[in-house]
Each structure stands twice: as structure tokens, then as C-alpha cells.
């Protein structure tokens, strides 16, 4: 037997599926569904009442079973979490001590965290929407050049001028060593070779920092020498989301890495 109890002026409906002591009550308030057990105690702590709170603010009775609903200020939350990895060709390697920054879609910082020893990071987000994520690498500053060598320069030249094949987008960004974020070509190869030889002492006008790192979401690939997009890295939150972040030293196109990085 289904029963509906409507409370005028409160905007809460109580639905009881059957008259038994195990009756479950579903509460809709502010667009959120909350399951409440018999006696008016919400199954989710903090939703209208705590597990110890047995005094409902709205109540009813169905075949002798009392039910109640506490109308509280419950705000839904969503979790964004994942791991930060150095994207080695032989297998991803956890990167601890990476600062991960969460911003709104206008670029205003909301929160920040630091990846754990296994690379794990997480945020609790109050609202759905589009967010920006950035990473900084203070613990690894200046070490990126150790991952760049003449093999990277040769692969960048091959990819940019001979054959484009599907690669992780973070690898494409690492190959765009001149930092123009539009095309990989022989110029990037030449800069990579120059960078390998002189370790950061680059010609004027090249937007490339000593020991720089690049990053992007895991699972995003590209099969072209061109890329029309640009930073920031964004994520659309409609539910709790797991998303790993891949990191490479700029110029580490062969994804070998360096023992001083990881």
C-alpha cells in the first residue's frame, strides 16, 4: 500500500511504501532525495537530524507506524579525486608532493591539496558545474631537464613532420617545447635539441622554462601535429568523479623520465 503525506507550506512529501516497522520514507527537499528510516531518523547524518535525533519536525502515522521528517539545510556534495602520475612509457609512476589547485570556471581559486605518496588527491565540491584544475611542481623544480635528450628531439621531428599517431595529449604538450600550444614541428625538435645541449639557456622569444613540467587529464589522446585548445584544464562535475592527472617534463617526448624526477 502506498501512502503520501503532504505538508502544506513546507514543500516536503513523505512516501511510505508499506505499513511495517521497516518502512522507508523518501523525502524530497530543495531538489534532493533523502532516505529516512522509520521513526524519522535520516539514513544520512546531517540531513534534517543526526542519527541520535528522534524528534521529527514533520510527522505522520501509517497503520500504527510513526514516521517523521526533519527539514534541515542538507547541501549535496561531489567528490573529485584521482592520482597524479608521471606518464612513463613503461608504466605510470606515482608523483607525490604535487600541488593540485581547484578553481571555478572564471579562474578563482577554491581549494588546493597536495598529492599523497601514492599520488592520490581529492576535493569535495558543493555544486555541479565546470571547474579548472592546475598543478604546480615545487618539489620537482629544475629537475625536468634531466628527462630531455636528443632522442626526444628526433621523435618530435618524426611526429611533427613525417607521421602523426595517437598519443596522450600530455605527451603532445610535452613535445610542444616552444610553448605555442598550436603545432608540433621541426622548430620544436630544434629547440628540444638546443635545450638538451644547453639545459635551459634558450634563444630569446622561446616560452620555455628551465625544468618545466606539463600535465593533462589521463585518457585524453590526440593524433595530429596540431591542437586548437589551450589551458586551462577543466572538468565538468555532475556527480562524484574520478580523474587521474598525467605529468611529463616538457621535452620528454619519449616518456623515459629521469631518476631524479621519479
Count, residues in the chain:
262
pLDDT above 70 (res 256): yes
Instruction: List beta partners, residue 33.
Output: 28
Quickly state the pLDDT bin for 187 (edges 50, 70, 90).
confident
Mean pLDDT confidence for 39-68:
41
Q: Which residues of 15-42 are buried (b: 16+ CB within 10 A; e: fewer)?
A: ebeeeeeebebebebeeeebebebebbb
Distance between CA atoms of residues 243 and 131, nearest Å = 13
pLDDT-derived band of residue 212, with 50, 70 and 90 as boundaries?
confident
Domain boundary assignment for the chain: 3-69, 78-249
Q: How sure is the predictor about 33, in pLDDT bands with cuts at 50, 70 and 90?
A: very low
**Other beta carbons less than 10 A from residue 180's beta carbon:** 15
Q: Are 19 and 25 in contact (CB under 8 A)?
A: no
Q: Where are the alpha helices (DSSP H) in the chain?
A: 150-161, 169-175, 186-198
Give the model's confidence band at 259: pLDDT under 50 very low, under 70 low, under 90 confident, else very high: confident
Percent of the chain predicted with pLDDT > 70: 66
Residue 48, SS3? Answer: coil
Please name every residue paired with 3 in a beta bridge, in sequence order, or none if there are none. Answer: 16
What is the predicted pLDDT for the residue at 193? 83
Taking all residues of the chain, what is their mean pLDDT, rounded to a whole number?
76
The predicted-structure confidence for 117-163, as pLDDT tens digits, reads as follows 999 999 999 999 999 999 999 989 888 888 888 999 999 999 998 98
Query: The domain 78-249 belongs to what CATH superfamily?
Result: Immunoglobulins (2.60.40.10)
* Residue with more model confidence, 224 or 5: 224
C-alpha distance from residue 250 to each of 1, 78, 146, 210, 253 (Å): 65, 32, 10, 9, 8
In the prediction, which pLDDT does 170 show? 95
Residue 8: what pLDDT?
40
pLDDT above 80 (res 183): yes
CB 121 within 8 A of CB 115: yes
46-50, 143-147, 150-154, 199-203: which has the highest mean pLDDT? 150-154
pLDDT at 200: 56
Q: What is the pLDDT of residues 239-251, one digit of tens each?
A: 999 999 999 998 9
Give the H/E segment covering residue 101.
strand 99-104
CB-based contacts of 117, cutoff 8 Å, min separation 6: 94, 96
Beta strands 241-242 and 78-86 are parallel
Q: Provide the percentage of residues in the chain whose pLDDT is more than 90.
A: 46
All three cell numbers of 68: 517523521
- DSSP letter (8 states) at residue 127: S
Residue pair 251/192 in contact by the 8 Å Cβ criterion = yes
Evaluate if residue 190 carries a pLDDT over 70. yes
Amino acid at each position: 500500500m502506498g501512502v503520501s503525506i503532504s505538508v502544506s507550506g513546507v514543500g516536503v512529501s513523505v512516501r511510505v511504501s508499506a505499513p511495517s516497522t521497516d518502512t522507508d520514507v523518501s523525502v524530497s527537499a530543495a531538489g534532493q532525495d533523502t532516505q529516512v528510516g522509520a521513526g524519522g531518523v535520516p539514513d544520512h547524518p546531517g540531513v534534517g537530524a543526526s542519527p541520535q535525533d528522534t524528534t521529527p519536525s514533520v510527522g505522520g502515522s501509517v497503520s500504527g507506524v510513526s514516521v517523521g521528517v526533519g527539514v534541515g539545510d542538507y547541501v549535496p556534495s561531489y567528490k573529485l579525486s584521482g592520482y597524479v602520475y608521471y606518464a612513463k612509457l613503461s608504466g605510470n609512476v606515482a608523483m607525490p608532493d604535487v600541488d593540485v589547485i581547484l578553481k571555478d570556471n572564471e579562474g578563482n581559486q577554491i581549494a588546493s591539496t597536495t598529492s599523497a605518496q601514492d599520488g592520490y588527491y581529492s576535493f569535495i565540491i558543493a555544486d555541479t558545474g565546470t571547474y579548472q584544475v592546475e598543478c604546480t611542481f615545487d618539489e620537482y623544480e629544475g629537475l625536468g631537464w634531466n628527462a630531455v635528450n636528443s632522442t626526444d628531439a628526433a621523435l618530435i621531428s618524426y611526429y611533427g613532420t613525417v607521421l602523426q599517431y595517437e598519443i596522450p595529449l600530455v605527451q603532445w604538450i610535452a613535445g610542444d617545447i616552444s610553448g605555442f600550444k598550436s603545432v608540433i614541428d621541426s622548430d620544436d625538435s630544434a629547440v628540444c635539441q638546443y635545450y638538451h645541449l644547453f639545459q635551459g639557456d634558450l634563444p630569446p622569444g622561446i616560452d620555455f622554462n628551465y625544468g618545466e613540467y606539463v600535465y593533462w587529464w589521463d585518457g585524453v589522446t590526440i593524433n595530429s601535429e596540431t591542437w586548437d585548445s589551450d589551458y586551462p584544464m577543466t572538468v565538468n562535475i555532475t556527480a562524484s568523479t574520478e580523474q587521474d592527472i598525467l605529468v611529463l617534463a616538457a621535452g620528454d617526448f619519449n616518456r623515459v623520465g629521469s631518476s631524479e624526477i621519479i
